Amino acid sequence: MTTMREVAVAAGVSQKTVSRVYNRDPHVLAPTRERVLRAMSDLKYTPNALATTFRAGRAPVIGVAVPDIVDPFFGAIVRAVDQEAARHNMSVLVTSIGEDPEREAEIVNSLLTRSPSGLILASVRQEQTYLKIWLDKLPIVFVDRAPTGVQADSFTDDDLGGAHMATTDLVRHGHRRIGFVGDRLSLPTTSLRLAGYRRALEEAGAGFDQHLVALGVQDHDTALAALLRLRGLDDPPSAVFSSNGRVTMLLVPALKKVPVAISSFGDLPLAASLTPPLTVVDQDPASVGSLAARRVLDRLAHPYRRYRRRTVLQVRLIERESCRS
């Protein structure tokens, strides 16, 4: 790798002049610039990005931490961030947190150690106070789940509204007993969706029944168990509302054994091709990722500008047939 110093020698100028030319500083005479440019191309000069980064004190990189990059929802967020970042000559440092809240701080801190210029996070924790020491060092933007215990930007979906919409839709299709199947109430998405579900039921005069709430779904076994428990109730539900796409993915195979109408918060890749086609609340993760990335970039470009902290994106119901049954 050839360095600025070498280019400087070749062009018969100082290192600083090469730096100026490279960085398009106008204070260089045209002929000088020509000489330097020639030397640069002759020697195939490429700047050492590591040195620039070191100098700058931060890497031209956006860190992204999500529960699971294989989940198409989070995958879409990461891809959108990547595209937005690429436009600004930035790269994306990703990591999958997993579902264990205990490990998050360690994983994210290790990501932050790499001095990214910004962080985009879908936290699996109930509070994120461990991030406090970082808040004044780089822009941190929460996606999908708003922060608790720290002040930071967030782009989330209208969890309450979406759940309300989906539940109301089930009621409209004649369901009175509707189960809620989810993972952990410690996640704001889940608790908000439960709230939306509950409100819809109450508004419909169908009443809220704690027994219809089945939490703790983590894998195929717990998903099946949840459905079996609901079916075993004295007054079993005729439909269930699944609180997120991951849970729905686990629930779908179990529906073969425990058929029941279903509506899902979160779209799935082949939702329309299932039998019956799945009714879902569509979330547009690409927009979330894109907005989050742009916010990071905006904050870097305009450190003192003020922004709206919390942005809630609208969701829409895609009615298909699984809500009937």
Using CB under 7 A as the criterion, which residues of the chain lie in contact with DNA when the complex forms? 1, 3-5, 12-17, 19-20, 22-23, 26-29, 31-33, 47-48, 51-52, 54-56
Cβ–Cβ under 8 Å, residues 122 and 66: yes
- Report what 238 binds from DNA, a second copy, none; CB cut-off 5-8 Å by kind: none
- Report what 236 binds from DNA, a second copy, none; CB cut-off 5-8 Å by kind: none
Question: In terms of CB distance, is 11 or 78 closer to a second copy?
Answer: 78
Binding site for a second copy (CB under 8 A): 46, 49-51, 53-54, 57-61, 68-70, 72, 75-76, 78-79, 82-83, 86, 89, 91-96, 107, 110-111, 113-115, 249, 252-253, 255-256, 268-270, 272-275
Question: In terms of CB distance, is 79 or 176 closer to a second copy?
Answer: 79
- Report what 301 binds from a second copy, DNA, none; CB cut-off 5-8 Å by kind: none
Question: In terms of CB distance, is 14 or 186 closer to DNA?
Answer: 14
**Which residues lie below 8 Å from residue 65, measured CB to CB, with a gap of 6+?**
94, 95, 96, 97, 104, 107, 108, 111, 119, 120, 121, 122, 123
Q: How many residues does the chain have?
A: 325
- Report what 20 binds from DNA, a second copy, none; CB cut-off 5-8 Å by kind: DNA
Residue with tokens 């708003």: 146
Residue with tokens 């995958």: 75
Instruction: Please report how close the Cβ of residue 250 comes to a second copy at its closest, in angstroms.
Output: 10
Question: In terms of CB distance, is 57 or 269 closer to DNA?
Answer: 57
Cβ–Cβ under 8 Å, residues 212 and 178: yes
Instruction: Please report how close the Cβ of residue 279 comes to DNA at its closest, in angstroms.
Output: 54
Q: How far apart are the first and last CA of the chain?
A: 67
Instruction: Please report how close the Cβ of residue 311 comes to DNA at its closest, in angstroms.
Output: 32
**Which residues lie below 8 Å from residue 260, measured CB to CB, with a gap of 6+?**
179, 227, 230, 231, 237, 238, 239, 240, 325
The three-state secondary structure class of 86 is helix
- Report what 207 binds from DNA, a second copy, none; CB cut-off 5-8 Å by kind: none
Q: How far is CA 142 from CA 108, 121, 152, in A?
A: 13, 5, 7
Residue with tokens 């539940």: 167
